[in-house]
Amino acid sequence: MTAVTVRVPAKVNLQLAVGPAREDGYHDLVNVFHAVSLFDEVTVIAAQPCAERGLVRLTAEGETHGNTAGVPLDATNLAARAVHRLAAETDAGAPVDIQLTKRIPVAGGMAGGSADAAGALVACATLWGAELGHDRLLALAADLGSDVAFPLVGGTAVGTGRGELLTPVPSTGRYHWVFALSGTGLSTGAVFGEYDRLRPDAPEPREDTALMSALASGNARALGAALRNDLEPAALSLRPELRSTLDAGRDADALGVIVSGSGPTCAFLAEDRAAAAHIAAALRESGHCERALVAHGDVPGATVVCQE
Ligand SMILES: C[C@](O)(CO)[C@H](O)COP(=O)(O)OP(=O)(O)OC[C@H]1O[C@@H](n2ccc(N)nc2=O)[C@H](O)[C@@H]1O
Ligand SMILES: Nc1ncnc2c1ncn2[C@@H]1O[C@H](COP(=O)(O)OP(=O)(O)OP(=O)(O)O)[C@@H](O)[C@H]1O
């Protein structure tokens, strides 16, 4: 085998309940992840070992213009960090070229970098024939970042701890989404910092039973009413113009309107595919977003789509 390509999904958070800051600077969460059909692709290609190059060389391209701005191409890229960690963990590492095809917005609150890290783990484990159990892979992913384990499993799942301890949620519905993208990202750490400033008395996070029953019944209207994101006031405080984006989706009769994770992407739940197209058109026309993309969820996690 000389090359492996893995397709890996973005996430939206259906519930993001955030507790007080912990001593290690992180926050305990009840984080209901939902994988949606915006995918990055991670291809790893076996490279000839030679003195001048290290373990990883990386390139990134965006299918949509401008979608690789802000993606580091050095060892700080989360996909490159994932490959180094996997090599250290398994002793199976050999030089690779990584090609990222970015469709998930960068620094958009949809876990694009985390998705790439998860994709790189699966692609390199496959290329190297590394016999790593599922639990070890999940632990390695969790160590790389709070959002990295989820794109390995996909679907819908509750994340506790700092978001990395996953319990799958059986989900019966197919949900139609619109994502309004901003031209400039928001730093996840800065949004949590603003949350601490706004909510010094944050309570311990709790799972929302209304959301869980909506997911169990597959009722999009009930799900729309139950969407909650504790980070939304912090994202709006740092980026007040997002209020107009959320209002534009509300005016177009979205069933639910929410900032995705740490933002600035805004997510709109639609009744069906036609309603999603209508909301996307209204958002584009409003001028209150850079782009509006239609997607559905949930979808599976990291999947090998090609091996040569
Ligand atoms: C906002 C979410 O996207 C929701 O899914 C995640 O909680 C963020 O996950 P992530 O980007 O993988 O975050 P990490 O790389 O682990 O942490 C980035 C920064 O976010 C903050 N952070 C993250 C997760 C968490 N439970 N508490 C935090 O306070 C910390 O300041 C941390 O330094
Ligand atoms: N593979 C990658 N793709 C995009 N950004 C990356 C990648 N690796 C590292 N980064 C860095 O991480 C930062 C956050 O990028 P990312 O797209 O993961 O944000 P995000 O979707 O808001 O993350 P999350 O939702 O997990 O908090 C970027 O600004 C960039 O500097």
Question: How far is 93 from 201, CA to CA, in rounded Å?
Answer: 46
Q: Is 102 a catalytic residue?
A: no
Query: What is the whole-number distance in angstroms between the Cα of residue 114 and the centre of ligand 2?
Result: 7
Query: In this predicted model, what pLDDT tens digit does every residue of 237-257 receive, in sequence order?
Result: 999 999 999 999 999 999 999
Who wins on pLDDT, 22 or 173?
Answer: 22
Q: Where are the domains of the chain?
A: 3-169+303-307, 175-297
Per-residue pLDDT band at 279 (split at 50, 70, 90): very high
Residue 147 is among the residues annotated as catalytic for this protein: yes
For residue 195, is pLDDT > 80? yes
Decide if 3-169+303-307 and 175-297 have a common fold: no
Pocket flag, ligand 1, residue 265 (CB < 6 Å): no
At 170 the pLDDT is: 87
Q: Which atom of ligand 1 is nearest to the CA of 164?
A: 26
CATH topology of domain 175-297: Alpha-Beta Plaits (3.30.70)
ipTM for the predicted complex comes to: 0.97
> What is the distance between the alpha carbons of residues 118 and 98, in angstroms, rounded to a whole number?
13
- Around 110, how many Cα atoms within 13 Å sit in the side-chain half-sphere? 29
The CB of 163 under 6 Å from ligand 1? The reply is yes
CATH fold of 3-169+303-307, please? Ribosomal Protein S5; domain 2 (3.30.230)
- Which ligand is closest in space to the CA of residue 76? 2
Measured distance CA(244)–CA(217) in Å, rounded: 31
Closest ligand 1 atom to Cα of 262: 1
Mean pLDDT of the chain: 95
Pairing outcome for strands 266-270 and 175-181? antiparallel
Q: Is 162 in the pocket of ligand 1 (CB under 6 A)?
A: yes
Ramachandran bin of 104, using left for φ above 0, alpha for ψ from -120 to 50, beta for the remaining angles: beta
Span 51-103, pLDDT tens digits: 778 899 999 998 665 678 889 999 999 999 999 999 999 988 899 999 999 99
